[in-house]
A and B are shown apart, each in its own frame.
Chain A
Amino acid sequence: MEGRSAITINASPDDLYARWHEFESLPTFMYHLESVRSTGDGRSHWVAKAPAGTTVEWDAEITEDVPGTSIAWRSVDGASVENSGSVRFRPAPRGQGTEVFVTVDYAPPGGTLGAMVAKLFGEEPGQQVSDDLRRFKQIVETGEVARSDGSPLGTRTQNIGHQEDAHPVEVDA
């Protein structure tokens, strides 16, 4: 399953590269992740949220790292969920920000775990990547994730089908 998306962000390639390179902060805009911890040597430990309060975990390694231009990663051999991803940064025309291209690829395992992973990453991985990128842009450009009464948790395409009414609700700020 491959998902890809692109967005243009009003920041320099170097700035965006540096932010993305802090893998620990990826969960601030990748809502399916619970944590990412660097374990040294270009390796990291990823924990993703799964249904019923469980988690799916794997170790990943950086396979490409060109400052200001691109980062690629993939799960190490033996991971329960084989996956890989990359992000590329390219200056937009006329110096107007940076074009950001993201691709992720999952090889869902069979059985119960496979079903969980499918639920986790949605039926359309491209939509999830697109949501991630919108939130990344919001955080970079405005310092916060846009939240409304109808979408109190911010951009989440999977919630679009069941909007809250557009009047104030009790949510944790």
Chain B
Amino acid sequence: MKANCWMGATHVEVSDVPDPKILNPRDAIVRITSTAICGSDLHLYDGYIPTMEKGDILGHEFMGEIVEVGPGAASKVAVGDRVVVPFPIACGACLNCERGLYSLCENTNPNAAMAEKMFGFPTAGIFGYSHLTGGYAGGQAEYARVPFADVGPLKIESDLTDEQVLFLSDILPTGYMGAEMCDIEPGDVVAVWGAGPVGQFAVASALLLGAGKVIAIDRFPNRLEMARTRSGAEIVNYEDTDVNQALKEMTGGRGPDACIDAVGMEAHHGSAPIQAYDRVKQAARLETERPHALRQAITSCRNGGVVSVIGVYGGFVDKFPMGSVMNRGLTIRSGQCHVHKYMKPLLDHIEAGRIDPTFVVTHRLGLDDAPSAYETFKHKEQDCVKVVLSPSG
């Protein structure tokens, strides 16, 4: 089959690789009909996530049709089912799965010891996202092996298009969880750093959960405009605005009740010296992250507010404003999304027309176009916000 493989920093290649096979009783094989490039794939692409191997198949946002089912999953899914696959792999039986913490499943990461060394405790397996999260082949391919197919895949039984449901695999639930972690009270002001696809869905979700006002912060006018016109966000361009000051002015001097970091480890900073400081330290591997968005989300948040972190971080941050967190009683909440928990309720929202996730899609390409699509997406050329790839063309 064809698959998009990581070959080294800023180098991906669509190659012929063996078709996946059922390895365990609860596996299924999915023929992929649509697959997307995630902002977090760019962290892999840029070489900032350790434990990648040359040849790894990328991709953790995919859907398709089940073409083979192991005996242990046959009671829940069947050949021919149309499914969306959540990006974390979860067993459904461990204590964390029982608590709804699916991205912290205790059984699906065969390289648990590697993750334990890095983070203290291991996390769940993730498709196409380094060997730290298990070394699972990803879904930017014609086929994928899906472990625990009786637990993860969500069946789509209505006639919704791929684009309407594909983002249930990651970015819609991730944005939603980012907003949910804010414990929004009616009328609350929520600020969202990053108006990429996850940020767009965090904005939409915060409003759905009762926020009175949502402020989107980015530097790309097209992305800010998308948040304004599609979801009714107020917007701040950090390249020409002092963000902390602007947020104070927009909230009567209090600061937002909650701040969502939908940017993560490769943030940019409006101030050249600060950007350069972190860029150099990151390039020299003295610091693994450029945490500008997170620092600003912390220092902008109102006293006693919540900072919700859904942008991806891989290691260590420098100059973390812990004094601001502690003295002002902030709560930091975070996590890789527990996608399984949100898929069905969000599908209901889509079916009822309360959320239409298709608005983020700007580029529709074939799987063969993956290498150029990564470049376009990385540099935000052609106003690129979200790329969907089709293996059949």
Query: Which A residues are closer than 8 A to B by beta carbons?
Result: 8, 10, 96-97, 127, 130-131, 134, 137-138, 141-152, 154-157, 160, 163-171, 173
Contact = CB atoms under 8 A, between A and B. Distances in A.
A165 B55 contact: yes
B56 interface: yes
A-B pairs with lowest CB-CB distance, top 9: A150-B135, A165-B55, A151-B110, A166-B56, A157-B113, A168-B20, A149-B137, A168-B18, A141-B93
A56 to B, nearest CB: 25
Q: Which of B51, B55, B94, B125 has the most CB of A within 10 A?
A: B94
Contact of A152 (B23, B113, B138): B23
A117 to B, nearest CB: 22
Contacts of A157: 113
Interface residues of B, number: 44
A150 B19 contact: no
B74 interface: no
B114 interface: yes
Contacts of A169: 18
A97 B95 CA distance: 8
Given A141-B91, A142-B148, A168-B18, A150 B111 contact: yes
B26 A144 contact: yes
B26 A142 contact: yes
B23 A147 contact: yes
A168 B93 CA distance: 26
A150 B136 CA distance: 6
Contact of A173 (B23, B26, B108): B23
Contact of A166 (B18, B108, B113, B138): B138
Contact of B134 (A134, A150, A156): A150
Given A137-B107, A144-B24, A147-B23, A165 B54 contact: yes
A162 to B, nearest CB: 10
A137 B106 contact: yes
A155 B3 CA distance: 25
B22 interface: yes
25 contacts: A10-B95, A138-B91, A142-B26, A142-B94, A142-B148, A143-B26, A144-B24, A144-B26, A145-B110, A146-B107, A148-B111, A149-B57, A149-B137, A155-B110, A155-B111, A156-B110, A163-B53, A163-B131, A166-B55, A166-B128, A167-B57, A168-B18, A168-B21, A168-B145, A170-B18
A169 B109 CA distance: 18
A134 B56 contact: no
B100 interface: no
Contacts of B93: 10, 141-142
Contacts of A155: 110-113
Contacts of B98: 10
Contacts of A173: 21-23
A149 B54 CA distance: 13
B134 A151 contact: yes
B72 interface: yes
Contacts of B147: 146-148
Contacts of A142: 26, 91, 93-94, 107, 148
A157 B110 CA distance: 9
A6 B219 CA distance: 49
Interface in B43-96: 51, 53-57, 72, 91, 93-95
B315 interface: no
A131 to B, nearest CB: 7
Contacts of A8: 95
A166 B57 contact: yes
B47 to A, nearest CB: 16
A78 B125 CA distance: 45
B259 interface: no
B134 A148 contact: yes
A8 B98 CA distance: 14
A151 B23 CA distance: 12
A151 B111 contact: yes
Given A160-B131, A167-B5, 9 more contacts: A10-B95, A10-B98, A142-B91, A143-B72, A146-B110, A148-B110, A150-B131, A165-B56, A166-B57
